[in-house]
Amino acid sequence: MELILNKQFFSNRSLCLLVFFIFISTIIIYSNKNNIFKYKLNKTLNKTSRYPYIALIVDDRANQLVINAVNNVLEHIPIDWKVQIMTLYEHWSYYNKSSLNQYIKSDRVLLTRLNQSSNGLSSDEYINSILTSSSFWHQIYGDKVLLFQIDSVLCSNSSYNLTNFLQYDFIGAPWYLGGCCNGGLSLRNRLKILELIESNKYHYRLHGINEDGWFTEHLSYVNGYVAPVSIAKKFSVETIYHPRPFAVHKPHINTIGLNNMNHLCNECPEVRMIVSYCEKNMKNINTTS
């Protein structure tokens, strides 16, 4: 009788242990599945932007030229576009007290903390390191991103508007030596940029080619659509002249030519904001004519 009771005791104990083991295993499996789901969900949410479109300027200074550039862009982008200023947190008060205050209050202009430090890099290397960082692109609020700088302007007398170029994943001014596209004033697809950076198949190497050259060379590997030169020259003028472009970025008079530069000064009066040539030489032309 005692032997039977002992066997029954051990049998019940084994059954309890088995049930306990199954219970713990179920919790662990559920927890892992839940974590995997959360990881996938977070990864998806991180790639989801707040808005379909955004105009973006990245500058680590408190600078009136940034304000001028933002005002120029606000005048020429569709009303459903917002402007995102990515700068150091210590400069936010400067912009809040500027003429941009009304736009900041109405959420037309959005301030974002610039986390990346230059760490002794040159200005070009700094921009290259930022624009090839996935963490940077996860901070951007729009899927289609119009990236602009203080040496670029959008033109009021243009034959084109921004919607003419939205089908491209990367478009900027074509290069004088051939190919496309310069990134200083460019329209980019944030999701394609992230897909390329996070694919881990192609790694950007600092101190080599500039970020715009690297992106336009590799975006095709993720089915990115880089604009052809024939379209890019309508979007922006830098080293190659085109009449009444959508925008101008740091125009090179030596490759554009003086005559074409004079045309550009008339066709895009906003160029006077970034190039002293127009103000000086157009006065001389008007005086002698």
| 261 contact partners, CB below 8 Å, separation of at least 6 | 241, 251, 253, 277, 278, 281
pLDDT above 70: percentage of residues in the chain: 79
Q: Can you give the pTM of this predicted structure?
A: 0.81
The stretch 140-148 carries a mean pLDDT of 98
pLDDT above 90: percentage of residues in the chain: 69
139, pLDDT greater than 50: yes
Joined together, the tokens standing for residue 143 give 């899927």
| Entry field: residues in the chain | 289
pLDDT classification of 16: cutoffs 50, 70, 90 = low
The Cβ of residue 112 has, within 10 Å, a number of other Cβ atoms equal to: 16
- Residues 184-218 as b or e (16 or more Cβ within 10 Å = b): bbbbbbbbbbbbbbeeeeeebeeeeebbbbbbbeb
Cα separation, 248 vs 104, in Å, equals 26
- pLDDT tens-digit map of 224-255: 999 999 999 999 999 999 999 999 999 999 99
79, pLDDT greater than 50: yes
Please report the pLDDT score of residue 281 as a whole number: 73
- pLDDT tens-digit map of 167-226: 999 999 999 988 899 999 999 999 999 999 999 888 888 778 999 999 999 999 999 999
Please report the pLDDT score of residue 42 as a whole number: 42
Joined together, the tokens standing for residue 181 give 């596209």
287, pLDDT greater than 80: no
pLDDT classification of 14: cutoffs 50, 70, 90 = low
Q: Which amino acid, one-letter code, is at 64?
A: Q
Please report the pLDDT score of residue 41 as a whole number: 39
Please report the pLDDT score of residue 201 as a whole number: 83
Name the range with the highest mean pLDDT among 21-35, 42-56, 173-187.
173-187
Please report the pLDDT score of residue 205 as a whole number: 85
**Residues 111, 88, 275, CA angle at the centre, nearest 5°?**
85
Range with the lowest mean pLDDT among 3-7, 48-52, 100-104, 214-218? 3-7
Please report the pLDDT score of residue 203 as a whole number: 84
The stretch 96-116 carries a mean pLDDT of 96
Query: What CATH code is assigned to 51-280?
Result: 3.90.550.10
- Give the 3-state secondary structure of residue 42: helix
Cα separation, 130 vs 137, in Å, equals 9
Please report the pLDDT score of residue 280 as a whole number: 76
